[in-house]
Amino acid sequence: MKLKPIVLALAVAAVLGAGGYGIYSLGMNRGIALSGSNASSPATTGEALDGIAAGEEATRRHLKQGIKAGDVDPVTGKAILFYQDPMVPGKRFDSPGKSPFMDMMLVPVYAGGDVDQGTVTVSPRIQQNLGIRTAEVVSGSLTPRVEAVGAIAYNERAQVLVQARATGYVEQLHVRATLDHVRKGQPLVDLYVPDWVAAQEEYLSVRHMQGSDLAGLIDGARSRMRQAGMSEDQIQLIETSGKIHPRITLTAPVNGVIAELTAREGMTVIQGAALFRLNGLDTVWANAEVPESQLGSVHPSSMVEARLPAVPETVFKGRVQAILPEVNPGTRTIKARVELVNQNGALSPGMFVNMTFVTAGGREALLIPSEAVIRTGKRNVVIVAEADGKFHQIDVETGLDNSGQIEIRRGLEAGQRVVISGQFLIDSEASLTATATRLGSAPVSSTAAMQQHAGRARIEAIHQDTVTLSHDPIISMDWGAMTMDFKLPKTGLPRSIKAGDQVRFVFVMNSEGPQLVSVTPTMPETITGDKK
């Protein structure tokens, strides 16, 4: 008879326990459903897991084939933007491999896919208001052209030195200042040479002597005049005139200017003294400052075109004579010496000219306007315009920059359109979401990264900065059941929680992976509270 009350009590306890578990399950399911705005159906979760598995398989295949970010997958035919851990989408990797966060492979992200981040949609009206312009990626012939600034200098190969051939006195100067223009054959100075008087008198005396064997004496007298510094023309003048000429007039051997003048009237000059230094102006040098990064396009004998701002309609042509073996440490430039034909004497030393180096022969390349490239210091980025007003950024590898067009070696294909005006607004990462909203476009998918997610789990281990949880499926993240590490909450774990406990947890995804917000014990404590 005593057994009947005991059986009845056990039945009531079983009913209460089943009811409490049902209430707990309902509350947990509601908590999970309310924790994420993107809650998916079980079918959607299965599809997501299948997609991750397919991505891992593709990554293993890429490892075997040596494929990396920037290449085209030969199976799908799509360009690979980067690799990522689906559970830590904020981190990007250039090469396939194992995730540093989870015990799983990274998965590839293809261009144009749903995970292709950085896409902004701008309505046509807003595009017009902002002045967004685009240009097509074209294939064309690229001829290396280097622009530089050059300074005009004297052509040192056209310098001529006028010296005194004998000791004498400067009687008269015909030019009196440096930089005076002179013509070839123009008198420069008159010299009186006393030593010539004795040599000429001796020669004339021998010429007037009578006899049949005087040839040797005449040749000896002529040699002494040469030793005194007289030229053949002067000796010929003495022979024809039969008079003494102690004075000599030095003339300009070339057309040019007086670069240096050391003679003055009345001064005494010795044999070999430099009286004048003349510089010809038929050709001049232009010392061009070429950036060392573009030196590969400049070679000796390369054609050069120079323009002077004062006479922009005149093109001065020349060739590179030499690349001087010296780098300017301040400007990181190397001097290229160019010889230019000085048309009408328009080029004077000290002038600046704009120079263009043209290398013969071109090659096919993909070209876009130079203004389309955004240079961040470490990356070169362009904004690609797609259909329906969509824009996204692409990293590119650039080559030669020539006449407003730049070579694209990797990242683009012919026929695509790139933004050449307004691209900085679209590319702004700091205010990408606000910009997208202001332009009337859809929010960027990455803004959901700080959304909270909830689930149930068993604590496997507690570490210094992380805790290992074996959790049930997380529907809001399309995750299946698995064991993984979570970063500890900023406030730490409750002291009563230990390994082996069943807990309810809330977390967010950031750039470093899943970050716990809170961890609370589950069923046992809740049921005890309800019974009270």
HEC profile for 407-452? EEEECCCCCCEEEEECHHHHHCCCCHHHHHHHCCCCCCHHHHHHCE
- Asked whether 385 and 113 are in contact (CB, 8 A), the reply is no
Instruction: Tell which wins on pLDDT, 228 or 188.
Output: 188
How many residues are recorded in the chain? 532
CA distance 149 to 290: 8
Q: Which of 291, 275, 338 is nearest to 146 (CA)?
A: 291
Least confident of 231-235, 280-284, 399-403: 399-403
Q: State how far the Cα of 398 lies from the Cα of 395, in Å rounded to an integer.
A: 10
Position 205 scores a pLDDT of 84
In this predicted structure, what is the pLDDT of residue 260? Answer: 92
Say yes or no to pLDDT of 460 above 90: yes
Tell me how far apart the alpha carbons of residues 306 and 353 are, in angstroms, rounded to a whole number. Answer: 6
Residue-wise pLDDT tens digits, 44-57: 444 455 556 777 78
Residue 487, phi then psi, degrees to nearest 5: -70, 140
- pLDDT bin (cut points 50, 70, 90) of residue 365 is confident
* Distance (Å, whole) CA 263 – CA 188: 10
Cβ-based neighbours of 125, under 8 Å, separated by 6 or more:
none
Give the separation between CA 26 and CA 9, rounded to whole angstroms: 26
pLDDT at 32: 31
| % of the chain at pLDDT higher than 90 | 17
pLDDT in tens, 376-410: 777 888 988 887 788 888 889 988 777 788 889 88
**pLDDT at residue 38 greater than cutoff 60:** no
Q: Is the pLDDT score of 507 beyond 70?
A: yes
CATH number of this structure's domain 145-155+281-363: 2.40.30.170
Tokens 């010429």 found at: 207
Give residue 443's pLDDT band: very low, low, confident or very high (50, 70, 90): very low
Q: Regarding predicted confidence, which is higher, 127 or 190?
A: 190
- Interatomic CA distance for residues 119 and 265, integer angstroms: 84
What are the beta bridge partners of residue 291? 333
Over the stretch 84-119, which tens digit does the pLDDT of each residue have?
A: 877 666 577 888 888 877 777 888 888 765 444 556
* CA neighbours closer than 13 Å in the CB half-sphere of residue 177: 3
H or E segment to which residue 189 belongs: strand 187-192
Is 172 in contact with 190 (CB distance < 8 Å)? Answer: yes
Interval 347-357 mean pLDDT: 90
Q: Which residue has the higher pLDDT, 219 or 275?
A: 275
How does residue 361 score in pLDDT terms, banded at 50, 70 and 90?
A: low
The β-bridge partners of 458 are 470, 502
Task: Please tell me the class of the 447-531 domain.
Answer: mainly beta
- CA distances in angstroms from 157 to 133, 153, 278, listed in the order given: 53, 11, 11
Structure-token pair, residue 147 = 């622009």
Q: How far, in Å, are 44, 87, 90 from residue 60 at the CA level? A: 25, 18, 21
Encoded tokens for 185: 């054959």
CA 9/CA 468 separation, integer angstroms: 40
* Mean pLDDT value of segment 235-243: 84
- Residue 418: what pLDDT? 92
Q: Evaluate if residue 368 carries a pLDDT over 80.
A: yes
Could you tell me the pLDDT band of residue 243, with boundaries at 50, 70 and 90?
confident
- Residue 471 predicted with pLDDT over 80: yes
Distance between CA atoms of residues 18 and 58, nearest Å: 46
Structure tokens at 206: 């021998």
Decide if pLDDT at 35 tops 60.
Answer: no
Q: How confident is the model at residue 285 (pLDDT cuts 50, 70, 90)?
A: very high
Separation of alpha carbons 346 and 313, rounded Å: 12
- Torsions phi, psi of 373, nearest 5? -90, 130
Residue 470 predicted with pLDDT over 70? yes
Inter-residue contact 338 to 288 (CB < 8 Å): yes
Query: Worst-scoring range by mean pLDDT, 7-16, 145-154, 222-231, 250-259?
Result: 7-16
Q: What does the alpha-carbon distance between residue 354 and residue 312 come to, in Å, rounded to a whole number?
A: 10
pLDDT band for position 73 (50/70/90)? confident
Q: Where are the alpha helices (DSSP H) in 386-510?
A: 423-427, 432-438
Written as one letter, the residue type at 437 is T
Domain ranges of the chain: 36-110, 120-134+367-443, 145-155+281-363, 195-245, 447-531
pLDDT, residue 170, reads: 92
Confidence of residue 450 (pLDDT cuts 50, 70, 90): low
State yes or no: pLDDT of 310 exceeds 60: yes
Region 145-172 average pLDDT:
88
**Mean pLDDT across the chain:** 78
pLDDT of residue 90: 59
CA distance 364 to 409: 11
Above 80 in pLDDT, residue 26? no
Highest CATH level, class, for 120-134+367-443: mainly beta
pLDDT at 89: 61
Backbone φ and ψ for 341, nearest 5 degrees, come out as -80, 125
- The answer to whether residues 479 and 32 touch, using CB atoms and an 8 Å cutoff, is no
Residue 174 has pLDDT above 80, yes or no: yes
pLDDT at 208: 78
Q: What is the dihedral of CA 195, 201, 202, 207, to 10 degrees?
A: 150
In this prediction, residue 112 carries a pLDDT of: 60
In angstroms, rounded to a whole number, what is the distance separating the alpha carbons of residues 76 and 280? 69
Over range 6-16, report the average pLDDT: 45
